[in-house]
Amino acid sequence: MTWLIKTNAVTFTAKSKAEKNINQKIVSDFKINVNSSSLISFTTFCIFTQNFLFLRKQQYFISQLLLGQRTEINF
C-alpha distances in Å from residue 30, one per residue of 53, 57, 73? 14, 11, 14
74 within some domain: no
36 within some domain: yes
Q: Structurally, how many domains does the chain consist of? A: 1
> Which pLDDT band, with edges at 50, 70 and 90, does 4 fall under?
low
26-70: pLDDT as tens digits: 343 334 444 433 344 443 334 443 333 333 433 343 333 333 334
pTM over 0.75: no
| 73 or 36, greater pLDDT | 73
Task: Give the structural domain span for 44.
Answer: 2-66
72 within some domain: no
Alpha-carbon distance 61 to 65, whole Å?
10
Contacts made by residues 57-61, CB under 8 angstroms, sequence distance 24+: none
73 within some domain: no
45 within some domain: yes
10 within some domain: yes
71 within some domain: no
Contacts made by residues 37-43, CB under 8 angstroms, sequence distance 24+: 38/62, 38/63, 38/64, 38/65, 40/65, 40/73
**SS3 assignment, position 18:** helix
* Per-residue confidence (pLDDT) for residue 25, from 0 to 100: 39
